[in-house]
Chains A and B, each alone.
Chain A
Amino acid sequence: MKVLSEKLFGGKQGAIGLAILSLLLFVVFPLWLDLFRLGLIGKYVTYAFVAISLVLLWGNGGILSLGQGMFFGLGGYCMAMFLKLEASDPISTKIQTTPGIPDFMDWNQLTALPWFWEPFKSLTLTILLVLIVPTLLAFIIGFAMFKRRVGGVYFAIITQAIALILSILIVGQQGYTGGVNGITDLKTMLGWDIRTDSAKYILYFANAGLLIACMLLARYILTSKFGMLLLAMRDKEERVRFSGYDVSNFKIFIFCIAAMISAIGGAMFTLQIGFMSPSFVGIVPSIEMVIFAAVGGRMSLIGAVYGTLLVNFGKTMFSETYPELWLFLMGGLFIAVVMFFPDGLAGVYEKYATKFNLTGKLSKLMIKFNKSASVTDELVGEKP
């Protein structure tokens, strides 16, 4: 039990960090902010899923994917397809040439629902597909790349190209995907209106809860031997290979997990915001999400969430007043972080925490309270 909690929360320090974040998300924000602002936070939190997936993949595994947006988008599209079908019942679409199919299909002279839309009539299947479709795509890309030992900058470029292809495909196939407008006018989920205030609150809390759950999953992976191997692979891939590990399998697995976490974020985005469009699939959102993780700290799950929240706060504030300056500012921010704070906000925090010996003071306190620490713990005690 002790070992499990250690693995999930990452020790006492990790547990405290997670508790503070949960307090902010579940208590402080909902009490302090009006529904409009809370909705914005909910949107940022869906991006935080991608940021923590990048902490796993990029920060710890050293695999930079510039195409995480496609997994976010695919998860979002899967959810949007279900909601769109529900919103396109024959009664509310009776003015169409073919009632009962989504409006954009009707505009594009489609007369029947395409076969790949069929599974999205069921919520259970939709939830499964939200998880399976992006993971399967990640598996195919990962298998093709990592088995051939494509890595580093080549992998980054290829993921970026695939994200671009996918967004072009979605835009081009207007009749099947809603094209550049995306899938809009989403109303209900199994009859439950997602546009009401109460639904917005419920979805916000569900979203925050899922984020914490994904963080626990990520933490479990990082504190297991798998996590140690990720760091080892980032450092000396050859050494890991010549220690008897099939490196490609480990990379494929973490790429798939990262895709799945991003997809959950995408699906929650659709539910909260009420639409999904190709502008969340392509290169720009994918790179923005890398910036969120970099600003927060690519080694820190909690840091990445704060980074996402802060950058997006900044984006909202600045783009309200100086919309044309925001992109330059964000570019500058990314350069500054990479040059001066390679470990992001989390790195800065750790540096000052050590400087003022916060952790030292804390651990001294803990030792006082916990003199009976078991012998094995001391023998094996990992670095903080």
Chain B
Amino acid sequence: MSSTDFVLAIEDLTVSFDGFKAVDALNMYIDNNELRVVIGPNGAGKTTVLDLICGKTKSTSGSIKFKNKELTKLPEHEIVRAGVGRKFQTPSIYENLTVYQNLEVSYPVGRSVWGSLTFKRTPEVIEQVHKIAAEVLLTEQLQMEAALLSHGQKQWLEIGMLLMQDPELLMLDEPVAGMSAKERDQTADLLNRICKNRSVLVIEHDMEFVKKIAHKVTVLHQGKILAEGPMEKVQADEKVIEVYLGH
């Protein structure tokens, strides 16, 4: 496998579940500071690609290189520590903790058993929590139990928890699912702000939202790339219209 300048280089990635190839010889490259959106019909393998990158699913063959570091053999927490953050499709936050605690627990210091026992709440931690809370519009809710947040706010909180770790690659699985129109706009602004110094990979179905944020779009179909490029080009592609946008 070659060495590249890309943040993320996926080459010949295949995963098969009992013979069914959910992802089939996929090649995908993501640039520095790029915001890439992956679209495609249900079952196209979008979430599986994220699972493969973050180590939740192990690949059958192929390579995933993050800053030229092979990820396919690493355990999940090592991949996170290398700088890859991933948001799940359904908001995955700690409902029993406050918003503040949710963010603090995600702060990337004290990640070992001993480190967490001796972890101190320094002014830097507090400052970082407040900074991120402001970024994801949750300053008012810091002391609130996370279970009481609205659905949209939970999505933001999870994005905030990832931002606490300052990942170089941020992967978001349907970040605006279940959000109101206003929340979608706010989320689009948020994503446009946070991709300034990192790369972001988003899976999304909402085409209006995709238009607002995407630098480049990849269309997946049956585990393979159907089309790739700027939004206008992809939308005009006949194959894409046929399998995905048409209906």
Contacts and interface: CB of A to CB of B under 8 A. Distances in A.
B86 interface: yes
B112 A231 contact: no
B101 A238 contact: no
A3 B122 CA distance: 12
B93 A236 contact: yes
A228 interface: yes
Interface in B112-150: 112-113, 116-121, 123, 126, 130, 143, 145
Interface string A214-257: 00000001001110110110111011111111110110010000
A325 interface: no
Give the one of B85, B100, B104, B105 with max A CB within 10 A: B105
Nearest to A379: B126
Given A224-B116, A380-B121, A381-B143, A246 B77 contact: yes
A226 B101 contact: no
B178 interface: no
A33 B81 CA distance: 58
A250 B161 CA distance: 20
Contacts of B96: 231, 234-235
B165 interface: yes
A231 B94 contact: yes
A374 to B, nearest CB: 12
A144 B60 CA distance: 26
Most chain B C-beta atoms within 10 Å of own C-beta, residue among A235, A238, A242, A381: A242
A382 interface: yes
Contact of A249 (B113, B120, B126): B113
Contact of B165 (A239, A243, A249, A381): A243
Contacts of B189: none
Nearest to B109: A225
B97 interface: yes
A249 B54 CA distance: 20
A245 B77 contact: yes
A243 B106 contact: yes
B95 interface: yes
A236 B116 contact: no
Contacts of A246: 75, 77, 111-112
A26 to B, nearest CB: 29
Contacts of B111: 244-246
A376 interface: yes
B117 A221 contact: yes
Nearest to B108: A244
Contacts, number: 93
Q: DSSP majority for the A interface?
A: helix
Interface in B79-98: 80-81, 85-86, 88, 92-98
Interface centre among A221, A231, A235, A239 (most CB of B within 10 A): A239
Contact of A231 (B97, B104, B126, B165): B97
Interface in B159-188: 161, 165
Contacts of A238: 56, 88, 92
B110 A225 contact: yes
Given A242-B54, A379-B126, A225 B116 contact: yes
B165 A229 contact: no
Given A226-B113, A243-B161, A249-B113, A236 B119 contact: no
Interface string A346-384: 000000000000000000000000000000100111110
B110 A244 contact: no
A224 B113 contact: no
Contact of A239 (B81, B93, B101, B119): B93
A245 B158 CA distance: 16
Given A236-B94, A253-B113, A382-B98, A241 B77 contact: yes
B11 interface: no
B117 A224 contact: yes
Contacts of A241: 76-77
Contact of A383 (B85, B130, B145, B158): B145
Given A241-B77, A242-B80, A380-B126, A229 B92 contact: no
A225 B105 contact: yes
Instruction: Identify which of A232, A250, A382 gathers the most chain B CB atoms within 10 Å of its CB.
Output: A232
A73 B143 CA distance: 43
A379 to B, nearest CB: 6
A238 B94 CA distance: 11
A59 to B, nearest CB: 12
A-B CB proximity, top 4 nearest: A244-B80, A225-B119, A226-B116, A225-B116
Given A246-B75, A250-B113, 7 more contacts: A221-B117, A224-B116, A224-B117, A225-B117, A228-B104, A231-B94, A379-B126
Interface of B: 54, 56, 75-77, 80-81, 85-86, 88, 92-98, 100-101, 104-106, 108, 110-113, 116-121, 123, 126, 130, 143, 145, 158, 161, 165
8 contacts: A224-B119, A225-B119, A236-B92, A239-B88, A242-B54, A242-B86, A380-B126, A382-B101
